[in-house]
Structure formats: structure tokens, C-alpha cells
Amino acid sequence: MCDADVDVCPVCGDAVSGYHYGLLTCESCKGFFKRTVQNHKSYTCAESQDCRIDKTQRKRCPFCRFQKCLRVGMRLEAVRADRMRGGRNRFGPMYKRHRALKQQKHALLHSHGLRVDYPTIISSPTRTPLTFPNITTTTTDRHQQTQSSSSSSSSSSSSSSSNFFQTQTRCESHHHHYHSSPLGAVYSGSPVPPAAAAAAAAVAAAAAAAAGGRCGSSSQAQFSGCFSPQGSALPRLLVEFLRCELDELQVQSKITGRLQQMQGEGGWGWGWGGHGEKLMYLMADQMLFYIVEWARGSVFFKELKVSDQMKLLHHCWCDLLALDIVSRQVQHGRQGSLILVTGQEVDLPAVVTPAGPLLRTLVQKGQELVDGFRKLLVDRNEIVCFKFLILFNTDVKHVENQSFVENIKEQVHRALLEYTLCAYPQFLDKFDQLLLCLSDLRALSTLTEEYLCSKNISGEVPCNNLLNELLHAKHNSM
């Protein structure tokens, strides 16, 4: 018998109780996800962050359980900030479409007689853009109901992700004269920081999930056209972008670790002012390191010559930094506070009260942008597109392969348009609204750079840092 319609929770394999936070899950994972998001829980894994999650062991490691919730596509946005009860959310239409698709599939299966052992009946020749072996295999996998396969997405992904980063060495011939600077050091081809390698596994798994790699149910993706709640038929480009994402939790723990290291015995506070402010610069510096690392490993970008890569990065690092910070607030933040990449929460009034006018406007504009993102219901997929639109900026001068940059930018535009039309059919001008948001973000970025320059932080942080270099590179080139 076909397993495609067995309603099994994609997180733990328990019986599904309905649609919860974007997809069909069981009651317990629903509750777990809600508690975690509502209460800003943060867990740690006692093992190696790859615990098996099934019905009997799901209580054992909340860290891995939550990771799996995200990986299979449960949506943070569906947890209401205002805790309002009842009613419907924007996923309603999506649930409805998904139900219709399931029904169609059933009808199709029955019209072919009841012999439904193999999913070939519903495979569609029109949809074969999946160039990733681990994705295509999981979608046709037929022995998923066992425990071992529930983790197949993460284990099988490591192989593809490792060569993903190994291919980087191809670019190394270009890097020779950049060694002396921090950005050069990131480019120096020295072993990729462990976070990136470790994150790659989780990243590929997340992408597999986004591409319909939910192990249990085989074929929502085949009825292409629009996107199922399981996130199946995303534009091909978007799937590739998602594969390039670093894992937030991995980066978070690496940055936290490194900052604690630097903090040393001093015991600086996390507030604003004094050592806290210094720590913020160090944190931004670390974030930039990962931003560059991400760009460097990203599809298309890594095809560019290193000199072009550096020109683009010099131009957009602050946009990417601002986007990273803003989107973190959109996802996890609360009114009146700032969530740091380390997961810590800073009280905004404590930042603003002693601040100068420039920082005040910066915080205010930032808040406005976060509100704008929220009102627009900007989702993770759109943010990923933003990152590539920011990266492939056709305004950057003296880029050798300008036509490539233009080409990619156009493709991203198309993918984003296609995505918004399909994922938010009720919201026809979402694409245009998003582009407006993006220009607001650029304005915020400019303001941020001005602020950083005005602080002349070179004395505040160790001189060998990326933040300083990028600030000055921009200054010198303009």
C-alpha cells in the first residue's frame, strides 16, 4: 500500500491531528512548537545535534526536535505574537489547496484501480528540475515509515554538502594578494570554519524539506503549479538559494562561543555603552565573517572571479548585515527589545535612552522596517531572495562580469515574482511592496554605515577585523 497518504507527523511520526503552523502535524509537536516559539525557549543538545526524533524519543532532545520542526517546514509566523485565539490566519487558503490536492491525488489513485504500491502513478514529467540527488531520492523513497529513514534527510545530505564546500578551492588561484586583510583571510582558502561545514548538513536538509523532501509523504510536489503547505514546488532558483543558507543555530552557537572567548575573564555586561557597545562591534564583526562565508559558498556568486566577488561584497555588506538583523527581529523579536544573533535579548529603551541622535534614528528606522516586514508578512523565502538581490547589485562599478550580475538579478526578480504570486495569490502587489521594503532596507543600511563611521570604531575593536576593513574600503573607493 502507498504510504503517501498515511497521516503521519513529519516531525515524530505520531498520528496527525490537523494542520498546525503550516503543515499536518500531531498534537504534541503542535504544542511543543507553540511553547518553544511563544516563550522564546532556547535548548541545547547534549549529543551532536542530530538526535533521532520519533514518538518515543521526542521528549529526549527538545533542541533537535525544534530543529526538525523547522526543517520540515513548521512556520514561526503562524505563532501569533498577540496570542489572539480562534479565527483563521493567512495559511487558511494554503491548507485548503493542499487538501484539494490530496483529494485529487486520491481520486487519481482510485481511477487507476486500487493498485497503488508505487508512486510512479503520480509522477509528472513536467517537473524534473531537481538536480540534487538527495532530494529526488527522498521524494520517491518508499521505505520511509521506519525510524532510520526519518533522519535520512540529514544524513544523506552531508555527502552532497561537503563537496559543495570543497569546490571552493577552485577559486583559490585568485586570492593571492588578499591575504593581508581580514576579508582576504576569509578568502584565503584555509579550512572552512567548522560551523560552515557542520551547518552545511543542516542546510541541505532544510533545503530538502523545502523542496518537498519530507520523507513521509511522497508526492505533493507532483501537482505543480502552486505551493503546498509542505513547501514542495518552490521556484527552482529559490530551492537552490535555500540550499546555500547557513544554519542559524550553528552560526549562533559559534558566534556566542567566540564572543565568550574574547570576553574572557572580564565579565563585560551586555547592555549598551562601555564594554557592551564594544561587544556589539565584535558581534557585528563576527556576523560579517559569516555573511562573507555565506556569499562565498552561494550558488552563482561562487562562479564569479574573486575580484568581482570582493567588489560586490564591499558594496553590500552593510545591507546584508542590516537584513540579517532586521529579519531576526521579524522572526523572533518582541516589541521594545532587540534579539541578538547570540539569541540574547537587549532592552531597546536601555539602548536608546543614553544614545546620541544618530543611534536614536537608527533604532527608530530599524523598528519601522521591522514593522513593515511584519505587516507585509515577509517570509523566509522572500528574505533569501532579498539576500541575492542585494548581492547581485548592478550598480556596482568596475565589475568585470557585469552581464552575469545583471542576468542573475533578473532571474532572482522573476523567481521572487513567481513565488509571491503563487504563495500569496490574494496579495497581488506583494512583489512591488517587497521591492519598496528592500529600498527602505538600503536606506537603513546607509544610515548604519554613517553611524559606524561616525563612531570611528577602529580604536574600539581589535585592529584586525572585518568590520573596519569593510567600512574603510567603501570610504576609500568613493
Partner DNA sequence: CTAGCCTTGATG
Partner DNA sequence: CATCAAGGCTAG
Residues between 151 and 190 that touch DNA (CB under 7 A) = none
For residue 18, what are the β-bridge partners?
25
Which residue among 1, 39, 113, 476 contacts DNA (CB under 7 A)? 39
Q: Give backbone dihedrals phi and psi of 243, rounded to 5 degrees, phi first.
A: -65, -20
For residue 20, what are the β-bridge partners?
23
32 binds DNA (CB under 7 A): yes
88 binds DNA (CB under 7 A): yes
Which is closer to DNA, CB of 32 or CB of 294? 32
227 binds DNA (CB under 7 A): no
Q: Do the annotations mark residue 358 as ligand-binding?
A: yes
Q: Give backbone dihedrals phi and psi of 23, rounded to 5 degrees, phi first.
A: -155, 175
- Half-sphere exposure of residue 244: CA atoms within 13 angstroms, side-chain side: 24
42 binds DNA (CB under 7 A): no
102 binds DNA (CB under 7 A): no
398 binds DNA (CB under 7 A): no
- C-alpha cell of residue 62: 527538545
As separate numbers, helices (DSSP H) first and strands (DSSP E) second, the chain gives: 18, 4
Which is closer to DNA, CB of 28 or CB of 253? 28
Give the 3-state secondary structure of residue 114: coil
For residue 25, what are the β-bridge partners?
18
Say how far apart CA 43 and CA 207 lie, in whole Å: 23
Q: Do the annotations mark residue 359 as ligand-binding?
A: yes
Per 3-state DSSP, what percentage of the chain is helix, strand, and coil (rounded to 5)? Answer: 60, 5, 35
Q: Evaluate whether 467 touches 461 at the Cβ level (below 8 Å).
A: yes
Q: How far apart are the first and last CA of the chain?
A: 66
311 binds DNA (CB under 7 A): no
Q: Which stretch binds DNA (CB under 7 A): 77-85, 151-159, 189-197, 317-325?
A: 77-85
352 binds DNA (CB under 7 A): no
Which is closer to DNA, CB of 93 or CB of 354? 93
Helices 275-297 and 466-477 pack at an angle, to 10 degrees, of 70
Q: Which stretch binds DNA (CB under 7 A): 36-44, 100-108, 239-247, 393-401?
A: 36-44
Q: Do the annotations mark residue 451 as ligand-binding?
A: yes
Which residue among 7, 27, 54, 303 contacts DNA (CB under 7 A)? 27
Smallest gap from Cβ 44 to DNA, in A, equals: 12
Q: Which residues contact 65 (CB under 8 A, 6 or more apart)?
A: 11, 12, 29, 32, 51, 53, 58
Helices 380-391 and 402-423 pack at an angle, to 10 degrees, of 160
Say how far apart CA 223 and CA 362 lie, in whole Å: 46
Q: Which stretch binds DNA (CB under 7 A): 15-23, 126-134, 170-178, 274-282?
A: 15-23
Size of the site for DNA (CB under 7 A): 35
Which residue among 13, 20, 259, 437 contacts DNA (CB under 7 A)? 20
397 binds DNA (CB under 7 A): no
Q: Do the annotations mark residue 356 as ligand-binding?
A: yes
**Going residue by residue from 46 to 75, which x/- string records binding to DNA, judged by CB under 7 A?**
------------xx--x-------------
Q: Do the annotations mark residue 455 as ligand-binding?
A: yes
Which is closer to DNA, CB of 261 or CB of 426? 426
Which residue among 8, 10, 13, 28 contacts DNA (CB under 7 A)? 28
425 binds DNA (CB under 7 A): no
Cα angle vertex 22, ends 16, 23, to 5°?
Answer: 30
80 binds DNA (CB under 7 A): yes
- Half-sphere exposure of residue 276: CA atoms within 13 angstroms, side-chain side: 13
Say how far apart CA 104 and CA 476 lie, in whole Å: 61
Binding positions for a phospholipid derivative: 356-359, 451, 455
Which residues make up the interface to DNA (CB under 7 A)?
Answer: 14, 18-22, 26-32, 34-35, 38-39, 41, 58-59, 62, 78-80, 83-89, 91-93, 95
Binding site members: 356-359, 451, 455
